[in-house]
Amino acid sequence: MSRSPFSRRPVAAGAAAALVLSLFALVPTATAAPQRHTSAAGDCALPGRTGWTDEGHNTDYTQFQRPIGAKHVLMLFVDFPDAQASGSTTPYYRQLAPAANWMKRDSYGRARLDITPLRRWIRMPQASTSYGFQRGISFQQHELYVRQAVEAAEPYIDFSGYDMLYIVPAKSASAISFSPTYLYDPTTNGIVANGKRVKWAVTFGQDMWHWGFKVADHETSHTFGLPDLYAFTGTDYHRFVGGWDLMGNIAGAAPQHFGWERWKFGWMDDNQVACLNSSGSRTIRLTAVESPGGTKIAVIRTGETTAYVAESRRAVGADDKACSTGVLVYKVDSSTQTGDGPIQVVDGNSHATPPKGCTPLDMAALHRGQSFDDPATGVRISVERSNALQDEISITKR
């Protein structure tokens, strides 16, 4: 079955506010194997229905890599006949290397990027303008780019010990503009180096100098099966989640992964999830997702592929610039395609005036005494008490 070769990205309206967001190649996928849940929390795990990246729990770990343990990443530095490098590879490595510590903290230590740079420039055989990045790269063009980088580097490195590649272009290669993620097609022969299939690669572009190291965490999360949470259409590309998750706005004020995604990844356990999948009420003490331990999310299932999720967010760790703190409520639909809003944050403070650097949706966290009601599903979420790192909430489904 053929698929669109890539997800579209919005075009920047101005250099100062450039929003060149990630895209990744799409190829046919195998049938997803269900993730096992052994507790009552599993009653709130939603099945994916898109056949590709989505917020469902049945990620196909033939197509995607498991987000648990060390991921051995080989970083290659490439230049081109028409865009040759000058100087050391060290500044390029330093720009992206902090992604490793960021992911380790974001995953509560359950996932780690072990990044090894090949400290030399590798010359690509074609001009930088020949790969089609500036026109919207196809899967075939993208695979050719990865293949040629691998072939050029093979004399200098053994690929067999690595899980994925980071391919970094010289600054002079302006035609390599953005950072798509390569996901292999298991139905083809693909790329093989030192007897091992090259399954996953992030091919960075010049946008890495705008986004910084978190672009590596965003793109690597695609290899784990996550969709994009920004909008592919319209003028407000961040209307779904604002700056609450780096799968939306990489440069957002509170970019750590939603608790729902951490559960999907296996970064939190089922006993850290409070599930309400039928009529009733519960009172739950949530511990901020930015810190380890405690109950992390409350899930109210509303349909086969839909649920509301509540989690506690604080301005600590990677979220230290959060524009609002408290209980964040969002809707998950695991049947919604990437770029169409598979997660949508509930704006609990629509009348708040955001401070400089924040958007209205960044103010969405609910405070003590505030509630969210959805009459259509009979869901009510109320914030009863709060302290430095916890919120006590009541959840009801009629």
Domain at 193, CATH number: 3.40.390
Pair (393, 345) in one structural domain: yes
Tens digit of pLDDT for each residue in 259-277? 999 999 999 999 999 999 9
Pair (83, 219) in one structural domain: yes
CB 59, CB 35: distance < 8 Å = yes
Evaluate if residue 1 carries a pLDDT over 80.
Answer: no
Phi-psi label, residue 293: left if phi above 0, alpha if psi -120 to 50, beta otherwise: left
Evaluate if residue 5 carries a pLDDT over 90.
Answer: no
Residue 25 lies inside a defined structural domain of this protein: no
Tens digit of pLDDT for each residue in 270-297? 999 999 999 999 999 999 999 999 999 9
Pair (132, 178) in one structural domain: yes
Residues linked to residue 241 through DSSP beta bridges, in sequence order:
none
Residue 254 lies inside a defined structural domain of this protein: no
Tens digit of pLDDT for each residue in 207-229? 999 999 999 999 999 999 999 99
Evaluate if residue 21 carries a pLDDT over 50.
Answer: no
Phi-psi label, residue 51: left if phi above 0, alpha if psi -120 to 50, beta otherwise: left
Q: What is the DSSP string of 92-108?
A: HHHHHTTHHHHHHHHTT
Q: Which of 204, 223, 242 is the last residue of a domain?
A: 223
Residues linked to residue 385 through DSSP beta bridges, in sequence order:
392
Q: Tell me, what's the pLDDT at 13?
A: 29
Q: Tell me, what's the pLDDT at 3?
A: 33
Pair (175, 112) in one structural domain: yes
pTM summary value: 0.91
Pair (271, 176) in one structural domain: no
7: exposed, middle or buried (Cβ count in 10 Å: 0-12, 13-18, 19+): buried
Structural domain range at position 96 = 65-223
Q: Which of 309, 344, 306, 333 is nearest to 230 (CA)?
A: 344
CB 381, CB 327: distance < 8 Å = yes
Q: b/e for 264-298, b at 16 or more Cβ within 10 A?
A: bbbbbebebbbbbbeeeeeebbbbbbbbeeebbbb
Residue 146 lies inside a defined structural domain of this protein: yes
Q: Please state the domain count of the chain.
A: 2
Pair (279, 190) in one structural domain: no
Neighbours of 126 (CB within 10 A): 13
Q: Which of 176, 205, 223 is the last residue of a domain?
A: 223
Residue 32 lies inside a defined structural domain of this protein: no
Pair (303, 376) in one structural domain: yes
Q: Tell me, what's the pLDDT at 396?
A: 97
Residue 244 lies inside a defined structural domain of this protein: no
Neighbours of 336 (CB within 10 A): 21
Pair (98, 202) in one structural domain: yes
Evaluate if residue 84 carries a pLDDT over 70.
Answer: yes
Residue 57 lies inside a defined structural domain of this protein: no
Pair (362, 308) in one structural domain: yes
Residue 52 lies inside a defined structural domain of this protein: no
CB 364, CB 344: distance < 8 Å = no
Neighbours of 357 (CB within 10 A): 10
Alpha-carbon span 177 to 214, nearest angstrom: 17
Residue 298 lies inside a defined structural domain of this protein: yes
Alpha-carbon span 109 to 342, nearest angstrom: 26
What residue spans of 287-377 are helical by DSSP H? none
Pair (71, 135) in one structural domain: yes
Cα 11 to chain centroid, rounded: 20
Q: What is the DSSP string of 119-180?
A: EEEEE-SS-GGGS-GGG---HHHHHHHHHHHHHHHGGG--GGG-SEEEEEE-TT-TT--S-P
Pair (183, 282) in one structural domain: no
Q: What is the DSSP string of 228-245?
A: P-S-SSSS-TTTTTTTS-
Pair (277, 154) in one structural domain: no
Tens digit of pLDDT for each residue in 61-72? 999 999 999 999
Q: Which of 223, 246, 271 is the last residue of a domain?
A: 223
